[in-house]
A and B are shown apart, each in its own frame.
Chain A
Amino acid sequence: GAGVSQTPSNKVTEKGKYVELRCDPISGHTALYWYRQSLGQGPEFLIYFQGTGAADDSGLPNDRFFAVRPEGSVSTLKIQRTERGDSAVYLCASRPGLAGGHNEQFFGPGTRLTVL
């Protein structure tokens, strides 16, 4: 079946602009994560959804970042007033259900965001 997909693959924007990054999780997966991977670093947690609600947004760096998942499937990460420091690869991952940590997180290919 289809894996996690993310669009766009690459996004170039100018400082101060607004961007939206989309994630399509694996069908039926109720848990969805966003991570940010800066150059030369490992991914860092941003936000976790269980169904439609953001169960943990403790990783969002500031209030310019926001994410939604209105119907419990597709999620959109929104960044307002982008800054050059927001340049990174944004990864989305999904996993099934509420079961314990042995549920593997399946990652998408990421969106590379470049802020000029």
Chain B
Amino acid sequence: AQTVTQSQPEMSVQEAETVTLSCTYDTSENNYYLFWYKQPPSRQMILVIRQEAYKQQNATENRFSVNFQKAAKSFSLKISDSQLGDTAMYFCAFMKHRYGGATNKLIFGTGTLLAVQP
């Protein structure tokens, strides 16, 4: 079974600075996807960034980037130029890579609460 571990329950960063959130996972699969989701107090899960395991290049989305280390099964999220609106819970998630009618369910970690301080 796959597991996702986020070892930082809470993090704090000053506005405009950079912060890195950690995530490790365990799987015997070779093809999979990894995600970072943001969950503000509104409870709505919002996709921040996605990484396909077969791609060596790290994904980037504006101020968000990942450090994907497949051999180490590590998938950290870097947020640059932190903004007050980045304050939220951040969840790392794993999905097997399947086509057709496969479930493709997400397996989440326990989350990291990020507070951006003014």
Contacts and interface: CB of A to CB of B under 8 A. Distances in A.
Interface of A: 31, 33, 35, 40-45, 48, 50, 55-56, 59, 89, 91, 93, 95, 98-105, 107-110, 112
A37 B88 CA distance: 16
Contacts of B68: none
A98 B98 CA distance: 10
Given A42-B91, A43-B45, A91-B45, A104 B105 contact: no
Interface in B64-118: 91, 93, 95-101, 103-111
A110 B40 CA distance: 12
Interface residues of B, number: 29
9 contacts: A43-B45, A48-B103, A59-B105, A91-B43, A91-B45, A100-B97, A100-B98, A101-B104, A108-B44
Given A104-B50, A107-B44, A42 B109 contact: yes
A56 B97 CA distance: 16
Contact of B105 (A33, A108, A112): A33
B108 A43 contact: yes
A88 B104 CA distance: 23
A98 B91 contact: no
A35 B50 CA distance: 20
Nearest to A95: B104
- Which among B43, B46, B97 has the highest number of chain A CB atoms within 10 Å? B43
B52 interface: yes
Nearest to A4: B44
Interface in B8-55: 32-33, 42-47, 50, 52
